[in-house]
Structure 1
Amino acid sequence: MKRRDFIHLAGLGIGASVLPVPLMGNHIPAEALLEVPIDPVKKKMLADVALNTAKSIGASYADVRIGRYLNQYVFTREDKVQNIVNTESFGVGVRVISKGTWGFASTHDVTPDGIKRATEEAVAIAKANAKIQKEPVQLVPVQPYGEVSWKTPIEKNTMAVPVSEKADLLLAANAAAMENGANFVNSALFMVNEQKYFASTEGSYIDQDVHRIWPTFNVTCIDRAKGKFKSRQALSAPMGMGYEYMDGRKEGKLDGPGGLTHYGKYYDIVEDATAAAKQAKEMLTAKSVDAGKYDLVLDPNHLGLTIHESVGHPLELDRVLGYEANYAGTSFATIDKWESKSFNYGNKLVNLFADKTQVGSLGAVGYDDEGVKCKKWDLVKEGILVNYQAIRDQAHILGERESHGCCYSQSWSDVQFQRMPNVSLAPGNETYSAKDMIKDVEKGIYIIGRGSYSIDQQRYNFQFGGTLFYEIKDGEIKGMLNDVAYQSNTQEFWNSCAKICDESDYRLFGSFFDGKGQPSQISAVSHGSSTTRFNGVNVINTGRNI
């Protein structure tokens, strides 16, 4: 999926019909989502069937993933529940190296015989592929971890919360929007539980229980006399949390500039929907922006998408090497730029890092899908490109002795490959708030929330819109603007970074359905930042540039 999640899942209006097929699985009753997973002892026994079979027929390496993927989606519109979807996908994927070449096969027959047949098929595929393989696969070492487990640190399992309670909450948000002037509103709640077991011939048996949640909505207000309408989507961030995210606790909330509420660790969907209706009405009469150079104050809920496209994707090593050229482009950040050890990605304020361990993030797991313990590492240090994102069969290209731990597969039936980890901008070191930042701007625009965007195939030249835009003049917010988008290129943009708020303002943005690869797979990833200012950025008027 993409095109900004298919225009925010087609306005959420057509429910599950737009969802990627791998997320669907088999439809099951809601209570089946709480069935007890297979015991790790049995998983180990089944995994050993694959590992022993692979070694006995000539594989030099093998790993097996036993996966149970659970999804629940609730869709509503105004005062009605549109759809409730409960799915389960269960099966086994086996990946091997034979004669220096990868082979992969999968099966939904989770029995010793079914796994044995899939393993034999994977080895046969590897041997067939070896006839055209030019260089043997090189895996950097990984520590064998024995039998270990990891679980998303949740307080409330989303699957255990009654569907009626979830639907009632969405309908309450819809009602709040309608009571405050919305003409139309639809909302949705996406919940995912990945129960994943990994084992390899190198001695790891890893059991993981991963949870993610994404509440969202879209509110529309109409001026019938003028034939105009404006929409405002939710300012929630999808998170690697349980249902506690929906508690609306005040902890983690920030009172932003202009009286705007920002959501930190917890989210209040009713409060956000109320504000959305009022802001959508305000957009109908807001003035159109004058094109020109502005200092941009970017909220983390907006900046996360810019980080995703201008940093996360161009620093994927497989993209840099050209493996993604046919589907999603290449990267301007080529190997020679990294080898120079002096390539200026941004100015000295800019420190960008990858981290698969950030608590609450979408990408947080204990171990990746080839059994590597996850970690944090630098991508851009004080403005200089210092690293990429690489997995076991890529790390040797960078002269590194271990994988970065960012290998992922969307399901048991798809082969794992390099996927973007959480990529974030480090906060500033000085005590400095978003309100302080506004006071320091003479002519600027404050941008909140994601919007439409465009970026070239090398992830260099781009244009980004947003959800809410506010004019800043002489240190104060003067009112709302319409038709705002900014244009720049990746280097110019990150070199225009002028100030970053401190850690107290640090928040996560997320992408729940990030697409990559052929055949395409989706993954979920977060991007953290504090409110950040970029000086002298070119702003266009999208209403006058159609």
Structure 2
Amino acid sequence: MKRRQFLRYTGLGVGAGLLAQLPLIGKAIPIETPWYTIDVARKKELADVALNAAKSKGATYTDVRIGRYLNQYVITREDKVENLINTESYGIGIRVIANGSWGFAATDQMDKDSIAKTAELAVIIAKENSRLLTTPVELAPQKGYGEVSWKAPITKNAFEVPVKEKADLLLAVNDAALKGGADYVGSYMFLVNEQKYFASSDGSYIDQDIHRIWPTFNITKIDKATGKFETRNALSAPRGLGYEYLQPRDSDKIKGITTLYRDRYDMIEDARQGASQVAEKMKAKSVEPGKYDLVLDPSHLWLTIHESVGHPTELDRVLGYEANFAGTSFLTLDKWQSKNFKFGSPLVNIVADKTQPGSLGAVGYDDEGVATQRWDLIKDGVLVNYQAIRDQAHIIGLNQSQGCCYSQSWADVQFQRMPNVSLQPGAGTLSPHDLIKNVERGIYIVGDGSFSIDQQRYNFQFGGQLFYEIKNGQITGMLKDVAYQSNTQEFWNSCKAIADKSDYRLGGSFFDGKGQPEQVSAVSHGSATARFNGVNVINTARKI
């Protein structure tokens, strides 16, 4: 997954070529295959084979991940279903420490002899790696949990919903957009089920059932006279929910500039609004460059949080161990050690959280068998912590992992991945309308768009989906060709107001790329609408 591909999937301005580029894991299975799980007792039996074999060959630590990963994609365009695909991947990954070094091996041959041989291979690899070792692996202590389980708190399993029902919904979305004046529309539904079993020589046997869903679309309208066009992508957020996410209650249907989404999403209403808004974009005036106060909707702000806060607080980037996918981090250890690095204004409180219900990153235990948790990254504007796993914790003086280790499949080694990283809402009572009414010259931005950020996660530029001009506290009309530029510290220090918790919403990415060999993970970012004063805005249509 290249960094630009992440952007492409964020916007989903793609057609039939989408399938060729999606991270399809595993083999194709019949589309209506009944959903089921593997017997837990059988998984424990196989895990014990791996644990015993690794120990007998000299491993001082072993963890085992048995995974069954299901993916389903429903892809439509206008009045047609373009593709339906189900995939399944099932196998075991075994990670060991021997002679102070890591070793890893994996197999999809799920008989006891193959698993024992794979465990032995992991030990051989660790011992060979130790020849180049300068410092032995130092793991934070972790007490075993025994036999425990965790299940995503869904109320309707999307994999048990008939494919026809999903396709009919997407076709209804397309119909709503076309009736609203769109020339082209494609809608998509992506489903993930991770059935994960973890066992370790620490004494943990953890069974987890994780569900994620992403409904989205892309609308295009063309000016027949000029050939110019405008697009509007869905304002949905991928979520760690079941099919109930797509069954809005009357109380969840909030109409206006944006269809608000919390735990329910009205996809058809969003398409109706999208068709109207893309027509409005055709007539919008081009922005005048300059300094503006920006009022940023959560459907936009999540991506800025992801790029300028989430990635630079990953400890491996800070240490220079990771530089793939846009570099390392400007948040070096000396800034944290100073205890007073002014990352943002005193209003800025940003937390990491792997426990948040309904989020993409929510699990009970990470891929090192550590119970997930919530912790501060930025407190009252000051950098206070990073994201660390078991073999990193000692570097920043922690006596335990923060529980943010993840692998995209049983076949890939687990490593530090971003937890949900979210801006906390304001403490008082403040609505998005209140933020706007105090702006003399500003822009209200809805939805994510193109972006660029440097190799230290410092200087950046962000676009969006919808841009509304604000004059003297009133929205006066739509703008286009808008992007804002800043650096991370300057931007977050310009944060002057954040709406209250009633406006808090999640955005996120299904396909966040990191590592080499590359892996993808799913992560959410929450916020309420926030105002940033005096930010530089450029016109993206004008030549420099």
Question: TM (normalized to structure 1)?
Answer: 0.97
Aligned to 2:328: 330
2:374 maps to: 376
Aligned to 1:42: 42
Task: State the match for 1:90 in structure 2.
Answer: 90
Residue 17 of structure 2 corresponds to residue 19 of structure 1 = no
| Correspondence for 1:525 | 523
Q: Deviation at 1:380?
A: 0.5
- Change in CA separation of 1:253 and 1:141 when aligned onto 2, cut-off 3 Å: farther
Aligned mates of 1:545, 1:493 — CA distance in 2: 25
1:431 aligns with 2:434: no
Distance 2:32 2:135 in 1: 49
Q: Is the 8 A contact 1:152 1:365 kept in 2?
A: yes
Partner of 1:514: 512
The code of the aligned residue for 1:503 comes to: K
Whole-Å Cα distance in 1 between the matches of residues 324 and 5 of structure 2?
20
- 1:33 offset after TM fit, Å? 4.8
Q: 2:347 aligns with which of 334, 346, 349?
A: 349
Aligned counterpart, 1:81: 81
- 1:316 equivalent in structure 2: 314
CA contact (8 A) 2:324 2:515 kept: no
Contact 1:250/1:266, CA 8 A, preserved across alignment: no
CA distance in 2, matches of 1:30, 1:205: 32
CA-CA distance at 1:31 after TM superposition: 3.2
Q: Where do 1:1-16 residues align within 5 Å?
A: 1=1, 2-3=3-4, 5=6, 7-8=8-9, 9=12, 11-16=14-19
Q: Amino acid of the residue matched to residue 503 of structure 2?
A: D
Equivalent AA in structure 2 for residue 41 of structure 1? A
Question: 1:25 & 1:527 partners in 2: Cα distance?
Answer: 28
In the alignment, which residue of structure 1 is the partner of 2:443?
445
- Structure 2 distance, partners of 1:326, 1:530, is 30
User: Structure 1 residues 516, 438: CA separation in 2 closer, same or farther (over 3 Å shift)?
Assistant: same
Match of 1:126 in 2: 126
Match of 1:65 in 2: 65
SS at match of 1:197: strand
Distance 1:203 1:399 in 2: 25
Q: Within 2, Cα distance between the matches of 1:255 and 1:535? A: 27
Moved more, 434-443 or 144-153: 434-443
TM-superposed deviation, 1:202? 0.2
Partner SS, residue 132 of structure 2: coil
2-structure distance, mates of 1:318, 1:253: 42
Shift of residue 224, structure 1, vs aligned partner: 1.0
Displacement of 1:436 after TM fit?
1.2
- Residue in structure 2 matched with residue 455 of structure 1 by the alignment: 453
Unaligned runs of 5+ in 2: none
Task: Give the equivalent residue in structure 1 for 2:532.
Answer: 534
For 1:388 and 1:123, the matched residues in 2 are separated by 31
Pairing 1:470–2:471 present:
no
Is the Cα–Cα contact under 8 Å of residues 12 and 217 in structure 1 kept in the other structure?
Answer: no
| Correspondence for 1:289 among 287, 296, 301 | 287
Inter-CA distance 329–103: structure 2 relative to 1 (3 Å threshold): same
- Give the 4+ runs in structure 1 shifted more than 3 A: 250-256
**Quick one: distance in 2 between partners of 1:12 and 1:145?**
46
With over 3 angstroms needed to count, the CA separation of the structure-2 counterparts of 1:147 and 1:293, relative to structure 1, is: same
For 2:243, the equivalent position in structure 1 comes to: 243
Identity %: 67
Equivalent-residue separation in structure 2 for 1:12 and 1:417 (angstroms): 33
> Does the CA-based 8 Å contact 2:13-2:218 persist in structure 1?
no
CA distance in 2, matches of 1:10, 1:470: 22
Tell me how far apart the structure 2 counterparts of residues 493 and 249 of structure 1 sit (CA, whole Å).
37
Pairing 1:24-423 to 2, within 5 Å after superposition: 24-34=25-35, 36-254=36-254, 259-423=257-421
Kept in 2: contact 1:65–1:92 (CA 8 A): yes
Offset, 1:400: 0.5
The letter of the residue matching 1:19 is L
Rounded Cα–Cα distance in structure 2 between residues aligned with 1:70 and 1:471:
44
Give the Å deviation of 1:327: 4.8
The 1-side partners of 2:463 and 2:228 are apart by 19
1:310-336 Cα deviation digits (max 9, x unpaired): 000000000111112255311000011
Q: What code does the residue aligned with 1:520 have?
A: E
Contact 1:50 / 1:116 at 8 angstroms: preserved in 2?
yes
SS in 1 for 2:33: helix
Q: Distance in 1 between matches of 2:135 and 2:333?
A: 20
Query: Is contact 1:254-1:264 (8 Å) kept?
Result: no
Cα offset for 1:502? 0.4
Give the direction of change, closer, same or farther, for the CA distance of 1:92–1:503 in structure 2 (3 Å limit). Answer: same
- Distance in 1, Cα, partners of 2:251 & 2:194: 28
CA shift, 1:301, in A, is 0.7
Q: Aligned-pair RMSD on alpha carbons?
A: 1.1
Q: How many Å separate the matches in 2 of 1:74 and 1:409?
A: 25
TM-score, normalisation: structure 2: 0.98
- AA matched with 1:514: D
Q: For the Cα contact (< 8 Å) 1:452–1:465, is it kept in 2?
A: yes
Cα distance in 1 for partners of 2:82, 2:252 equals: 32
Q: SS state of the match for residue 16, structure 1?
A: helix
Alpha-carbon separation, structure 2, partners of 1:261 and 1:173: 14
Task: Write the distance in 2 (CA, Å) between the matches of 1:126 and 1:24.
Answer: 27
In structure 1, how many angstroms separate the alpha carbons of the residues matched to 2:324 and 2:74? Answer: 35
Displacement after TM superposition at 1:7 (Å): 2.0
Cα offset, 1:438, TM superposition:
1.1
- 1:341 positional shift: 0.6
Aligned-partner SS, 2:133: coil
**Which range moved further: 9-18 or 88-97?**
9-18
CA distance in 2: counterparts of 1:112 and 1:93, whole angstroms: 14
Instruction: From the superposition, tell whether residues 429 and 385 of structure 1 become closer, same or farther in structure 2 (CA, over 3 Å).
Output: same
- C-alpha distance in 2, partners of 1:253/1:268? 7
C-alpha distance after superposition, 1:149-188 (max 9, x if no partner): 0010001100000000000000000011000100000010
Q: Is the 8 A contact 1:327 1:518 kept in 2?
A: no
The superposition leaves residues 351-394 of structure 1 with CA deviations (integer Å, 9 ceiling, x where unpaired) of 00000000110000000000000000000000110000000000
Residue type matched to 2:474 in 1? Answer: E
The 3-state SS of whatever aligns with 1:51 is: helix
Q: The residue matched to 1:447 in structure 2 has which SS? A: strand
1:417 is matched by which residue type in structure 2?
Answer: F
